[in-house]
């Protein structure tokens, strides 16, 4: 296991990319709908209890939260999408901000798309997947909260998501994950190591 992830530190929150850390090195973005479990996944894979804030009230933070892995590598916890109870104006703002981030961020190396295993592949998830397909950005999908399902049901969900993704022109990796049970951590570390070119571990 690569110990570097346990030393990840919070850098800053930005309202938009103009105020984000310098666009250099490599950045991996965590995306997904509000409440899917993005922040919990970041905490679990860095083995830190409250590095990324987790919340039972979804949709409140519309910030890009940046974390430093080392001088040249970062994670960013993107604001959640698809939260119904926010005003249209907030949704439009979110949309513009995401568009700018995805289109302009040169250091963006890959996206980890976090989906609640009980509600995978929403319309927003497909938008994200198609964006990755069209812009040739690497994509890894976490089916999180796997602890909420029995093992057989979780496995079936994994297979069915993999089947649906076969129609894409790019290959996307998918895995089971649970921040609560801390399962799937070695698997995501392996993907991150590859993307971030940590081959020594």
Binding positions for ligand GDP, rule: CB under 6 A: 32, 34-40, 54-56, 58, 80, 144-145, 147-148, 178-180
Torsions phi, psi of 107, nearest 5?
A: -80, -5
Q: Which is nearer to ligand GDP, 56 or 166 (CB)?
A: 56
Residue with tokens 């190396």: 109
Distance between CA atoms of residues 28 and 6, nearest Å: 16
Q: Which of 39, 109, 144, 157 binds Mg ion (CB under 5 A)?
A: 39
**C-alpha to C-alpha distance for 178 and 185, rounded to whole angstroms:** 8
- Residue 65 contacts which entry, Mg ion, ligand GDP, none (Cβ below 5-8 A, type-dependent): none
> Taking CA 132 as the corner, what is the angle to CA 136 and CA 170, rounded to the nearest 5 degrees?
60
The distance of closest approach from Cβ of residue 192 to ligand GDP in the complex, given in angstroms and rounded to an integer, is 18
Q: Which is nearer to Mg ion, 39 or 109 (CB)?
A: 39
> From the list Mg ion, ligand GDP, none, which binds 58 (C-beta under 5 to 8 Å, kind-based)?
ligand GDP
For the chain, how many residues are written?
Answer: 201
Q: Residues binding Mg ion: what is the number (CB under 5 A)?
A: 2
């Amino acid at each position: 296991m690569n110990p570097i992830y346990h030393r990840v530190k919070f850098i800053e929150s930005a309202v938009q990319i103009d105020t984000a850390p310098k666009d250099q090195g490599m950045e991996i973005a965590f995306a997904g709908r509000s409440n899917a479990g993005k922040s919990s996944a970041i905490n679990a894979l860095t083995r830190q209890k409250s590095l990324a804030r987790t919340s039972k009230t979804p949709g409140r933070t519309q910030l890009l939260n940046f974390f430093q892995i080392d001088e040249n590598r970062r994670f960013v916890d993107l604001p959640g999408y698809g939260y119904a109870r926010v005003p249209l104006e907030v949704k439009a703002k979110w949309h513009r901000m995401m568009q700018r981030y995805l289109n302009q961020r040169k250091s963006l190396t890959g996206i980890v798309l976090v989906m609640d295993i009980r509600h995978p592949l929403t319309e927003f998830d497909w938008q994200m997947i198609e964006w990755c397909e069209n812009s040739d950005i690497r994509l890894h999908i976490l089916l999180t909260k796997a602890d909420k399902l029995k093992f057989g049901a979780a496995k079936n969900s994994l297979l069915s998501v993999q089947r649906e993704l076969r129609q894409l022109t790019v290959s996307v990796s998918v895995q089971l994950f649970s921040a609560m049970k801390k399962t799937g951590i070695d698997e995501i570390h392996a993907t991150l190591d590859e993307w971030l070119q940590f081959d020594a571990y």
